[in-house]
């Protein structure tokens, strides 16, 4: 069996994905507030602005929460994902060697990657797109298909098979 080729692919900044998460959180907050307002008992004075204001307030709070979460989960800067034939490396503002790389969602031209940090830090989520990877897209998909999962122990290290 042949090994996947070495690849050095550019990962985008995830700006569009962070915007989508923020909008979805805001829409969820507004929907929940309007649903709650529809079930609240209002006085017989007629319609008031309270349901609308509650929806705006809830949407704002939920959108801010979504923006914070999106910023925390999807790092803002671009990075490079490198497969050298034996290990994965994430190169960017914080270069790391993930202990596990999992393809969480593959939509053909868009891939969501989960990178578990070896140093006990929180899991990183990165987005790979065909557009940002360019000519490296096919090689990246082949390497992800063949070598995603737990990191392989290096030869000579404890736990390496002999």
Q: Do residues 79 and 11 touch, judged by C-beta distance below 8 A?
A: yes
150-158 long-range contacts, CB within 8 A, separation 24+: 150/99, 150/100, 151/87, 151/88, 151/97, 151/98, 151/99, 151/100, 151/101, 151/118, 152/86, 152/87, 154/86, 154/87
pLDDT in tens, 111-125: 999 888 766 667 888
Cα–Cα distance between 99 and 88 in angstroms, integer?
Answer: 9
From the CB of residue 9, how many other CB atoms can be counted at a distance below 10 Å? 22
From the CB of residue 25, how many other CB atoms can be counted at a distance below 10 Å? 21
Q: Do residues 7 and 82 touch, judged by C-beta distance below 8 A?
A: yes
Whether pTM exceeds 0.75: no
pLDDT bin (cut points 50, 70, 90) of residue 98 is: confident
Domain boundaries, the chain: 7-13+77-150, 15-73
pLDDT in tens, 13-61: 888 888 888 888 888 888 888 787 777 665 555 556 677 777 788 888 8
Specify the DSSP class assigned to residue 154: P
Residue 49, pLDDT score: 67
Residue 22 CA to its chain's centroid (Å): 13
């Amino acid at each position: 069996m042949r090994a996947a080729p070495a690849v050095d692919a550019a990962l985008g900044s995830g700006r569009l994905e962070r915007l989508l998460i923020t909008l979805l959180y805001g829409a969820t907050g507004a929907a929940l507030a309007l649903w709650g307002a529809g079930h609240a008992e209002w006085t017989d004075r007629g319609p008031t602005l309270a349901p609308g204001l509650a929806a705006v307030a809830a949407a704002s709070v939920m959108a801010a929460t979504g923006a914070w979460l999106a910023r925390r989960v999807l790092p803002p800067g671009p990075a490079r994902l490198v497969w050298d034939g034996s290990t994965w490396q994430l190169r960017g503002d914080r270069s790391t060697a993930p202990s596990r790389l999992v393809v969480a969602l593959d939509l053909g031209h868009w891939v969501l990657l989960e990178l578990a940090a070896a140093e006990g830090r929180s899991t990183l989520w990165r987005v790979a797109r065909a557009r940002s990877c360019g000519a490296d897209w096919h090689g990246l998909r082949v390497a992800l298909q063949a070598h995603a999962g737990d990191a392989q122990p290096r030869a000579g290290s404890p736990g390496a098979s002999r």
